[in-house]
Structure formats: C-alpha cells, structure tokens
Amino acid sequence: MLSVVPTPITVRVPAKVNLHLSVGDARPDGYHELVTVFQALSLTDEVTVQTADEPGIEVHGEGADSVPTGPSNLAWTAVRLLAEHSGRDPEEPGVRLSIRKGIPVAGGMAGGSADAAAALLALNTLWRLEIGRDELSDIAAKIGSDVPFSLQGGTALGTGRGERLVPVLARHTFHWVIALDRRGLETPGVYGELDRLRGDTGPHGVGEVEPLLEALASGDPRQLALLLGNDLQSAAVSLRPNLRRTLRAGVEAGALAGIVSGSGPTCAFLCTDNDAAVRVAAELSGAGVCRTVRVAQGPVPGARIVSDERAD
Ligand code: C5P
C-alpha cells in the first residue's frame, strides 16, 4: 500500500443569485426571516488547501486586494470550525489556503460564503473526515446563511435565514449577464437600510414563491423574467442610486429583466439565450454604467473537488 501523500486539494465553487428574495422582520437574533430561491451561476472561485507548517491564506484574482487574509476571512472560520470538529487545534490547523477569485468581491453573490463552503469540502477530503453532506451543511450554516447553498448549488428554495434548503427543479439552462459595480456593499448595512426604509410599518410577511417555482420548472426565461424579485433591491438602490441607471441600461440593452443580486451591488440580467446574453453584455459594457460585465449560466453544481491527486 502506498503511503498517504498530502498533496493539495482544489475545490471549485459557484456564485449565487437570488431569483426571489423576500425579507420578513428582524428576529431577536438580529437575522431576518427569509423566503428565497437561489440559483448557482457559472462564475466560480477555486480554493486549494494543503498541509503546511505555516498556516494562512493567500488570495489571487480580481478584487484579491480587498479580501481579508486573516481570521475574518470566512474560509478561515471554516478551517477553525472543522479543526475543532475533528479534534485538531484550531490555532494550529497546519494548513494553507489559496483562493482564486472569479466571484465578485462584496458583490451580493456569496463570494465569501463560497470560499468557506469550498474550504469545508476540501478539508473534509484532506483530513479524511468523511463527514456526510448533511452534517457538513449544518457546519456550513454556523459560518453564514449562504454557505449551505454554496455547498449544494443548483437551484434551491431557502427558508429560515436562508440556510434551510430544498432543491428546486429548474428545466434548461438560464443565461445571465452580470454587471459588477465599482465598489462593494456590506450585507448588514443593506439589511439595516431596508429596516430603516420600512420604519415601523409591518409586520412584514414573506411573499409567495409558487409562480416562480412553476416558471423554473417550465424552463421559460420570459415567464421567469416577470417573476424575479428582491426585497433588498430598494435598500441597495437607496445606498447606491447609480444602480437604478445600471438596471435600466441592462433592459434597454435587450435583457428580459434585471435585479440586484442579493444585497448588491452586483446586478443580474436574465436573457433569452446565450447569443442575447453576449449582445447585452457588449452593449452594457459600452454604456459606462458599471465596472465590468460577465456572461454566466445557471444552474451549475455546488462546491466540488476538481483535483484530488493523492496516491492511495
Ligand atoms: O449569515 P451572514 O453572515 O451571511 O449574514 C451577514 C449579515 O447579513 C448578518 O449579520 C445580518 O446583518 C444580515 N442578515 C440578515 N438576515 C439574514 C441573513 C443575513 O439580517 N437572513
């Protein structure tokens, strides 16, 4: 039998967009009750973990400069939690993480959550913990509301604070154009702005989602476009009034509909097909309303190992 060689493990993990996000009132724990439909998109990060005497994180790719490399990085929270879970010293976990960013940083597309999900899956393999998907999802929820979805991918209905998931049938592939803003937005500030805008109106229930689920099952982007909605959009636009122009420009460029993704400021535009998405992306990038533009498809799988070259 060959000895175990601790070679690097790399996990690819997708961004998400919320096709529907209805936000209820703040709970005593400070989180808001949600009903949301997530879709995983083909903008991805890659996280590589390897055994190392010098623990730490390095970050490469677009926006890498604004990603923390210390304990506030959610991927490092994942390392610490899994170390504790498996009886290792969380202060000396003996691993290094390398993160390659393809998901917009602080963009409302769960980039930080994605890296945490990827770190969980990679370490589960590197340390041979054999923790099942359900238990890994419970650990993921302790890190952040979006982390379980980053593990699961596809299209899913999320309730609670977004961490309780049921997979949803989505026929065909949907084609998206993603417009990145010049600066990020912090999620707590956007929820706070929604509370401020709502004032003491309420209570706020969570909206109906069945028509959107039917549109997903039919696979018809025109039907889906009519039903996209995000309660956080008004708050994100209030904090970044320029997003109004971006949303308008995407529809003028030929998208079926545009929404702010999650807490923003990234905007996501649904298009009829890939050719339309390429045309909308080209026109939008010439309109000068955003920093950069990407074309993406969804749904795609959740976090998965793309290299596992250990000899065993
Ligand atoms: O769970 P996560 O760490 O991603 O949440 C970041 C912040 O977003 C929370 O601290 C909270 O302010 C806000 N949030 C919320 N209700 C949710 C999810 C997030 O108020 N359901």
Q: Annotated catalytic, 16?
A: yes
Domain boundary among 145, 168, 191: 168
Q: What are phi and psi of 142, to 5 degrees?
A: -70, -25
Q: Is the CB of 146 under 6 A from ligand 1?
A: yes
- Closest-CA residue, ligand 1 atom 7, reads 188
Same domain, 223 and 96: no
Cα separation, 49 vs 57, in Å, equals 9
Its domain, for residue 25, covers 9-168
Amino acid 206: pLDDT:
72
Residue carrying the six token digits 């476009």: 225
Amino acid 159: pLDDT:
97
Same domain, 213 and 137: no
Amino acid 199: pLDDT:
92
Structure confidence by residue, pLDDT tens digits, 280-305: 999 999 999 999 999 999 999 999 99
Query: The domain that contains 190 carries what CATH number?
Result: 3.30.70.890
Domain boundary among 148, 168, 188: 168
23 pairs with which residues across the strands?
34
**Nearest CA among 65, 67, 66, 69 for reference residue 54:** 69
In a domain, 311, yes or no: no
Q: Annotated catalytic, 101?
A: no
**Mean local confidence (pLDDT), 218-240:** 97
Same domain, 229 and 89: no
Which is the closest atom of ligand 1 to the Cα of 160? 21
What ranges in 37-101 are assigned the alpha helix state H?
Answer: 74-85
Q: Is the CB of 34 under 6 A from ligand 1?
A: yes
Cα separation, 103 vs 87, in Å, equals 32
Same domain, 160 and 196: no
Cα separation, 249 vs 111, in Å, equals 25
- Selected catalytic residue, list 45, 115, 146, 181: 146
Centroid of ligand 1 to alpha carbon of 312 (angstroms): 41
- Structurally, the chain folds into a number of domains equal to 2
Residue 6 pLDDT level (bands cut at 50, 70, 90)? low
Determine contact, residues 111/105, Cβ cutoff 8 Å.
Answer: yes
Q: Is 111 annotated as a binding residue?
A: yes
